[in-house]
C-alpha cells in the first residue's frame, strides 16, 4: 500500500473553492414495505438502486451546489437478500472529484425494524456530473480529503476512474473501427 501523505489534501480540477467530505455526507433510512418486494417478500434490486441513485444525487448536489445527473453506475453485487419489514440505511459520501464529475460511494445496510444486527448488503459507486443552467457539464468545487479513511476511499476511487476512462477509450476505438469498416 502506498504511503499516506500529510493530510488534508485538496483534490479535483474544478472550481477554486473547496468543501470537506463531511459537507455533503448523507444518510437516509427507509422501511421495506409490500410494494418494494416480490411475492416471496424479497426486496427488488431496483428499489435499492433507486435509493442509491437518489442519495447519490443529494450528495453530489450538496457538494457541487448545482443540479446533477447520473453518468454511470459501477457493477453492483447484492451480497444478501433484504426482506419486507427490514429497515434499509443508505449512506453516501463524495470519494473523489474531477473537473465536472464526482464519484459518490454509497453503502447499503439492512436490519429488522424491531432492531438487531445490521448487515452490509452492498456498496455502489455512482458517477454524477454537475450541470450549468444550459444543461452542460460545469466545474465543481475541489474536495478536502482530511482523514486516512477518506484518503483510502479517494485513492481507490482514482483507480476506478482511470479504469473507467480506459474502458471508455477502448470502446470508442472499437466503434471507430466498425464505423470506418
Nearest distance from C-beta of residue 49 to ligand COA, angstroms: 12
3-state secondary structure of 5: coil
Nearest distance from C-beta of residue 78 to ligand COA, angstroms: 21
166-to-13, 104, 105, 162 alpha-carbon distances in Å: 19, 19, 20, 6
User: What is the footprint of ligand COA within residues 48-87 (CB under 6 A)?
Assistant: 69-72
Residue 71 vs 87, nearer CB to ligand COA: 71
List the grid coordinates of 112: 429488522
Cα(44)–Cα(35) distance, rounded to whole angstroms?
Answer: 9
| 10 binds ligand COA per the rule CB under 6 A | no
Q: Does residue 132 have a cis bond before it (omega within 30 degrees)?
A: no
**Under a CB-based contact definition with an 8 Å cutoff, are residues 75 and 46 in contact?**
no
Residue 72 vs 80, nearer CB to ligand COA: 72
**Residue number with the shortest CB distance to ligand COA?**
98
**Under a CB-based contact definition with an 8 Å cutoff, are residues 64 and 130 in contact?**
yes
Residue 24 vs 100, nearer CB to ligand COA: 100
Nearest distance from C-beta of residue 100 to ligand COA, angstroms: 4
User: What is the footprint of ligand COA within residues 93-152 (CB under 6 A)?
Assistant: 98-101, 127, 129, 137
Angle at 53 between CA 105 and CA 107, to 5 degrees: 35
Nearest distance from C-beta of residue 52 to ligand COA, angstroms: 13
Cα(141)–Cα(20) distance, rounded to whole angstroms?
Answer: 10
Amino acid at each position: 500500500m502506498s504511503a499516506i501523505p500529510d493530510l488534508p489534501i485538496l483534490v479535483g480540477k474544478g472550481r477554486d473553492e473547496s468543501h470537506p467530505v463531511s459537507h455533503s455526507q448523507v444518510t437516509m433510512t427507509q422501511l421495506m414495505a409490500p410494494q418494494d418486494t416480490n411475492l416471496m417478500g424479497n426486496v427488488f434490486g431496483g428499489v435499492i438502486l433507486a435509493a442509491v441513485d437518489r442519495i447519490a444525487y443529494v450528495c453530489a448536489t450538496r457538494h457541487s451546489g448545482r443540479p446533477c445527473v447520473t453518468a454511470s453506475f459501477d457493477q453492483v453485487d447484492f451480497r444478501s437478500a433484504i426482506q419486507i419489514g427490514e429497515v434499509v440505511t443508505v449512506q453516501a459520501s463524495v470519494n473523489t472529484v474531477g473537473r465536472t464529475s464526482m464519484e459518490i460511494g454509497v453503502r447499503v445496510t439492512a436490519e429488522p425494524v424491531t432492531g438487531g444486527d445490521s448487515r452490509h448488503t452492498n456498496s455502489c459507486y455512482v458517477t454524477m456530473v454537475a450541470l450549468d443552467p444550459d444543461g452542460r457539464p460545469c466545474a465543481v468545487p475541489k474536495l478536502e480529503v482530511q482523514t486516512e479513511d477518506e484518503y483510502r476511499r479517494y485513492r481507490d476511487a482514482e483507480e476506478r476512474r482511470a479504469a473507467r476512462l480506459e474502458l471508455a477509450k477502448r470502446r470508442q476505438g472499437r466503434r471507430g473501427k466498425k464505423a470506418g469498416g
